[in-house]
Amino acid sequence: MSTTETTPERPEHSRGGTYTVPGQEFVRDSNYIPTRITRDGADGYPVEAGRYRLVAARACPWANRSIIVRRLLGLEDALSIGMPGPTHDERSWTFDLDPGGRDPVLGIERLQEAFFARFPDYPRGITVPAIVDTRDGAVVTNDYPQITLDLSTEWTEHHREGAPALLPSDPDVRAEMDSVMRRVYTEVNNGVYRCGFAGSQDAYEAAYLRLFRALDWLEERLADRRFLMGDAITEADVRLFTTLVRFDAVYHGHFKCNRNKLTEMPVLWAYARDLFQLPGFGDTVDFEQIKEHYYVVHTDINPTGIIPCGPDLSGWLTPHGRESLGGDPWGGGTAPGPVRDGEQVTAGHNPLVPL
């Protein structure tokens, strides 16, 4: 059975989301490059350590998923990573954080160059995450929901010892997880964007109600289980976490998702802190880049480009008490080791990495 999601998704591009606005309602474009990197190389791209480069901006929630999964599975030696800066223009994400403004492996200034290397007339947004073939500098895929699934299923030869099983082997549990992930995506991951980019009052209010109805459902679901699928982390937790960790910093104010803050939802706030404090989750998050991206790039929502000073982040390190629910986050495996040199979040951009 294919691991492709049944609900299509589409990651950010240069305006913070690829979308159309028919009738003033946000609708995300679901088209992406469907090429896969697999063990058998059926699409022409076999799994091969050292051949590919993951390009993933820390600011982007969709890209943050791939950064987390790569780290949890221990794929650092097999799949290198390039990190564009948090802001960009209408053309592309850029490598402005690297010396000379060029990715040190691909030698390019803009991710757009890798897309054009394969599709000279590529008509859509230049999105992250993307995987690029270092042999010819051409993009392989930007199908980010499939990227993380394939890292779990196709790259197993290169997983670290003790890597967690992010996809359940039990078909019934997997079916339930797919259902949970669909709801999390449509109502929460994409729901915050539906609020933020609504083109009318009615569209915004409908989106707002949908979002908080789903957050209330998650508050109830997680009240008696430590993680979304039970006692151990799964892909579903990765997908929810990248929205929750941005909620108070950007979505509450910038996207008008303001019925309450994450810190005012006791179960979800404790759950998010539990994940944040696990190696592989919080240590991938750069709050300064997140805020800079949303408040600077979305000029139609925030024309002044002013970046808020808050919120206070110290609460992310407070005790969460979720251990009382039992379980083992790693499902019998082990936590990933220290973050690799050169891949650490900038000091002061995260309470785990103080100045």
Would strands 27-28 and 19-20 be described as parallel, antiparallel, or unpaired?
Answer: antiparallel
Active-site option among 32, 60, 257, 295: 60
Cα separation, 37 vs 97, whole angstroms: 28
Q: What are phi and psi of 308, to 5 degrees?
A: -60, 150
SS3 203: helix
3-state secondary structure 176-225: HHHHHHHHHHHHHHCHHHHHHCCCCHHHHHHHHHHHHHHHHHHHHHCCCC
Asked if 302 and 197 touch (Cβ cutoff 8 Å), the reply is no
Position 89, amino acid: D
Would strands 130-133 and 52-55 be described as parallel, antiparallel, or unpaired?
Answer: antiparallel
Asked if 61 and 250 touch (Cβ cutoff 8 Å), the reply is no
193 tagged catalytic: yes
45 tagged catalytic: no
Cα separation, 117 vs 137, whole angstroms: 7
Active-site option among 52, 193, 251, 294: 193
Q: Which residues are catalytic?
A: 60, 193
